[in-house]
Structure 1
Amino acid sequence: MSIVVSLLRQPRLMCHHIVTCRSSSSLINTPEKEISFADHRTAYAHLSRTEILRAWIVLKLCSFDFLLQNSLKVLEHSQRVLGRGLLEKILRPTLYDQFVAGDDPQSLKETANKLKKVGIKLMILPSLEEDVGQKSDENRYNSNVEVTLQLAEIAYHHGGPLSCLQTKITALISADLLLKLAERNRDKEDQFRTISSWANYMAGGLLAPVSYLDKTENIELEKGLERLKSVGAFASGLQLRLLVDGEFTYLNQAISIAALSMAGAFNQSRPVVWNTYQCYLKDAFEKICSELEITQRMGVGFGAKIVRGAYLERERQLSVEGNYPDPTNPSYEATSDVYDRVVEYLLEEVVRSGGQRCNVIVASHNEKSVLKALTKMRSLGISPKDNTVVFGQIYGMASNITVKLASEGYIVYNSVPYGSLFDVLPYLSRRATENRAVLKGTRRERTLLARELRARFLGF
């Protein structure tokens, strides 16, 4: 109760947003109704007092740098000391329930229904991935396909057509093989030839052996592409949006080739397969332009999820260890500039392409970036109902943005992790380490949560 009392004593939050922006040609008119993300009553109306208090406590814990840097070690040590059973009793009603949708179809259904009441759609995130050095395992990859297809069915059942499902290429193909492919496909035309070959195979054609792979690796590649084909075809049949997540830069070239190959096979009429673009990387804008050009050469739709990125700390460490230039932007502000530039460019491309050939997910917890995107949409005449530009945030965070956008008629998704506690928490720990800037920056949201608690307890 002392925590509640301290929260109730916090000063009231005063916030006023002034959005002014000049386009390249003219002054953008101030919107008729400016959106404020300080509306705590709307943001948390769907949550109980207990859920609001839990959110404040968990986000407060996430603001401590030591815990974020050492979260996986803390979890492993706690499991040794407390035992698996006791640790689960502590973590399930706290960290797990705050950020994870559940570990079975029923719990996922309950989360989906709760979000649906406030107009939020699911973007399901299975905790399936692999890194270089892990032993290739065909049985694991095939199991990952089955899990992905099951989640695709669940996504469709709860959200219908255009529901989102996230996936990682490393869940379906060996990361070691992807690394070898990335190192041999640096030339732009080499990339296009590989993409065209893989797209042709996934569309029903033949696959020519790759000269620099041995017989075993070529067989492994073909099996991997067959898995990508099955997932892409299934998503296309259900009219889902299959979002390929970005990973480490040493794999991203091959991941982009795989994602664009799937786009070549399945994006004939609209974007089914979307790639993710990490704007903390210096070359993000150039990468977007290059990959958009490739889809245009193939005559297929282009889908893009725009994020700031989740591997910044590790990328900087790798550049030091490998003695190569840091691929990341020097500051959060520089990343924000790149992010806003990318979003503005793609929103203009949505209009240039006539709407349905280019779709964008503005995935951000940054209020300024979201407001800039909204202003740009209005200036270009992009309606939220077009479903060409949508928004996304992580489940359990930034409800003040997500719920408010939904209440104003925008299409909004929550990225919702799914899986058992001891499968998902290590995954979340790795993401927490990489998302320290986001998690440490939750002070404003904690203030809004405190205001809502004060309103619930004291009536103002």
Structure 2
Amino acid sequence: MDNHNLVSFDDTSAAFSSRPDRELKKMNFLFTIMGMGKLTKIGSYFVKSALKWKLPVKKVIKTTLFNHFCGGENLDECKNAIDKLSFSGIKTILDYAVEGESSMAAYDHTMDVLRRSIDLAASDKNIPFVVFKMTALCRLSILEKTQSGIELNFTEKEEFSHFNQMVEKIAAYASDAGVRIMVDAEESWIQDTIDAVTLKLMNHYNKNNALIYRTFQMYRVDMPYLLRDALKSSKESGYKLGIKLVRGAYMEKERKRASDLGYPSPIFPTKEETDQAFNEALEFCLNNLNYISIVSGSHNEHSNLLQTKIMSSMKLNNNDDRVYFAQLYGMGDHISFNLSRKSFNVGKYLPFGPLEAVMPYLLRRAEENKSIKGQSGRELSLIRKEIERRKIQP
């Protein structure tokens, strides 16, 4: 087994081995722009407005942000990215990155895409997970009313019942195919409802091993308690706990809503507190692998190194199937590719879907790179280091 001290995230030749010169130059441009806070904010507003008014901007978005952070608009378009990742020993986490839907036609389409995603994953060992958001199958307002204890009207009750049936069908389909499903986290005011639905699925389908994974956003102050409570419940009920750990992607939205409505922010006040909560949760999960399978979704170098250290101290094989590292497609390549070279299980979150439908995802990526201290700067410095190493001309 490789010693964790041999893992380095500074090897840019490994990190960008799959990127030709022209892609590196494009990455340099994108991360430079996203590191400019005011410009990113103006750009996000312009993109939203342009799409709303049907201005001809799709081609520009698709050849820049979309192509860098997404696999394509459909599964067929994703195959090139899946093959490129698998060539480097990196697996694909298929993410139908559609959310906030509100029609039966959209729900039916989501069901069809998820079934085909599961079929593709079942036929390809390089796709260990399929992921989706519950709001791709149910109106956010219904999830919110359910969480708030507000009684649904007749139509809403019918829709919520149909939503539960759809989620159950997806879980059963995945179980028959032997494909693991991750349920993405969303806003705190609907998350309890999402977790309750996910819990029912885990209780039924995770008896022998983790098939259904629940996402824990560790920037929430209540999450360390909820994580421990989830393990306690799984032990009592006799099912395995599938966990995806992330820091969280709705920070500014969560804080603004809390301020507007006058309740305490559910988010830790500082990044340092979030980092501590994430790392403690990581250690907690790894120390309970008899009950937990974990996907650690992080672009933080310290957290990823900590994971390798804990695994080494526990004498776990680097490719233990209960433990995955995960980064987003188009980000954190210096982490993903260098971990993969040491035979750790690494998955890239590969979002796909119609351009307009995945814009909320793309705008969150731009916002993340603007707001997370040091992250975009680190990505950019490594890109430029590789450009200099290759002696690429501007």
**TM-score, normalisation: structure 1:** 0.80
- Which residue in 2 is equivalent to 1:380? 314
Compared CA separation, residues 321 and 380, structure 1 to 2 (3 A):
same
- Give the secondary-structure state (helix, strand or coil) at the position aligned to 2:239: coil
| Structure 2 counterpart of 1:198 | none
Aligned to 1:390: 324
CA contact (8 A) 1:71 1:433 kept: no
Is 2:71 aligned against 1:137?
A: no
Shift of the 234–80 alpha-carbon distance from structure 1 to 2, 3 Å rule, reads: closer
Q: Which amino acid aligns with 2:200?
A: S
Give the superposition deviation at 1:32: 6.5
**Matched residue SS, 1:119:** coil
* 1:127 pairs with 2:94: no
- CA distance in 2 between partners of 1:71 and 1:302 (Å): 40
User: Secondary structure of the residue that 1:442 maps to in structure 2?
Assistant: helix
1:45 is displaced (CA, Å) by 1.2
Q: What does residue 15 of structure 2 align with?
A: 43
CA distance, structure 1, for counterparts of residue 330 and residue 4 of structure 2: 30
Give the C-alpha shift of residue 457 in structure 1: 2.4
Q: Which amino acid aligns with 2:67?
A: D
CA drift of 1:382 comes to: 2.1
TM-fit CA distance, 1:287: 0.9
Residue 169 of structure 1 is aligned with which of 130, 134, 145? 134
Q: Which moves more between the two structures, 102-111 or 68-77?
A: 68-77
Indicate conservation of the 8 Å contact 1:418/1:424, yes or no.
yes
Cα deviation for residue 346 of structure 1 reads: 0.7
> After superposition, what is the alpha-carbon deviation per residue over 1:134-182, rounded to whole angstroms, capped at 9, x for unaligned?
7x4223222211121122222333336x711111112122322222221
Q: 1:439 and 1:79 mapped to 2: Cα distance?
A: 29
RMSD: 2.3
Which segment drifts farther, 442-451 or 401-410?
Answer: 442-451
Displacement of 1:240? 1.6
Secondary structure in structure 2 of the residue aligned to 1:166: strand
Deviates more, 1:302-311 or 1:422-431: 422-431
State how far apart, in whole Å, the 2-side matches of 1:457 and 1:81 are.
43
Check the 8 A contact 2:4/2:312 in 1, yes or no.
Answer: no
Q: 1:285 to 1:346 in 2, by over 3 A?
A: same
Cα offset, 1:82, TM superposition:
9.6
Residue identity in the other structure for 2:390: R
Q: Within 5 Å, which residues of 2 pair with 1:276-355?
A: 276-350=215-289, 353=290
Q: Give the whole-Å Cα distance in 2 for the aligned partners of 1:79 and 1:213.
A: 33
User: Secondary structure at the residue paired with 1:452?
Assistant: helix
Tell me the amino acid that sits aligned with residue 220 of structure 2.
L
User: Cα distance 1:319–1:105, how it changes in 2: closer, same or farther (>3 A)?
Assistant: closer
CA distance in 2, matches of 1:381, 1:77: 53
Letter in structure 1 aligned against 2:66? Y
1:81 is displaced (CA, Å) by: 9.3
Tell me the residue number matched to 2:66: 96
What is the alpha-carbon distance in structure 2 between the residues aligned to residue 70 and residue 335 of structure 1? 28
Amino acid at match of 1:422: E
Corresponding residue SS for 1:328: coil
- Which amino acid in structure 2 is aligned with residue 272 of structure 1? L
Aligned length: 392
CA shift, 1:360, in A, is: 0.4
Q: Secondary structure at the match of 2:287?
A: helix
Give the Cα separation in 1 of the matches to 2:372 and 2:305. Answer: 17
Matches within 5 A, 1:45-194: 45-78=17-50, 83-84=55-56, 87-130=57-100, 136-159=102-125, 163-184=128-149
Describe the shift of the 1:220–1:118 C-alpha distance in structure 2 as closer, same or farther (beyond 3 A).
same
- Asked if the contact 2:142–2:152 (Cα under 8 Å) also holds between the matched residues in 1, the reply is no
**In structure 2, C-alpha distance between the alignment counterparts of 1:387 and 1:213, rounded to whole Å:** 42
More divergent stretch after superposition (88-97 vs 437-446): 437-446
Change (3 A) 1:288 1:58: same
SS in structure 1 at match of 2:391: helix
| Conserved 8 A contact 2:65-2:362 | no
Return the match for 1:228 from 167, 186, 194.
167
Question: What does the per-residue CA deviation read over 1:348-380, in whole Å, with 9 as the maximum and x for residues that have no partner?
Answer: 011xx2xxx410011100001111111111112
- Distance, in Å, in 1 between the alignment partners of 2:206 and 2:10 is 39
Q: Amino acid of the residue matched to residue 140 of structure 2? A: A
- 1:207-218 superposed matches below 5 A: 212-218=151-157
**TM-superposition CA deviations, 1:314-353 (whole Å, max 9, x none):** 1111111111111111111111000001000111011xx2
How many Å separate the matches in 1 of 2:187 and 2:112?
25
Give unpaired runs (5+ residues) of structure 2: none
Q: Deviations over 1:275-334 (max 9, x none)?
A: 111111111110111122222222111011100100010111111111111111111111
Aligned counterpart, 1:266: 205
Q: Which amino acid aligns with 1:432?
A: A
* In 2, Cα distance between equivalents of 1:263 and 1:146: 22
Unaligned runs of 5+ in 1: 1-29, 186-211
